[in-house]
Amino acid sequence: MDALLVVINVFLIIAALVLIVSVLMQQGRTQGLGAISGGAETFLGKNKAKSYEGKLELCTKISAAVFIVLAILMAALQ
C-alpha cells in the first residue's frame, strides 16, 4: 500500500506542476486600453492565439481534473 501512495504522490505533484505552469502561461481575459485603439493583431495572429490559448485551456482543465481525482484518491487511501 505504501508503494501505491508514493506513486499517487508523484503523479499528484506532476499534475500540480502542470496545472501551475498552464495557468501561469495563459493570458488575461481583459485587453485593457489596447482594445480601445483597435486590434493590434492581424486575423492570422488572432487565430494562432486562439488555438494556442485553446490548447492551454484544455491542458488546464485536464490537469485540474487529474489533480482533483488524485487528491480525493490520496485522501481515501490514507
Please give the chain's pLDDT, 78 residues, in tens: 899 999 999 999 999 999 999 999 998 877 665 556 555 555 555 666 578 888 999 999 999 999 999 999 999 998
Query: What pLDDT, on a 0 to 100 scale, did the predictor assign at position 62?
Result: 96
The whole-number pLDDT of residue 37 equals 59
What's the confidence (pLDDT) of residue 5?
93
What angle separates helix 2-25 from helix 43-77, to the nearest 10 degrees? 160
pTM tops 0.75, yes or no: no
The DSSP annotation for 41-65 comes to S-HHHHHHHHHHHHHHHHHHHHHHH
Contact predicate 70/8, CB 8 Å: yes
7, 3, 8: which is closest to 74 by C-alpha?
8
Instruction: Give residue 7's pLDDT.
Output: 95
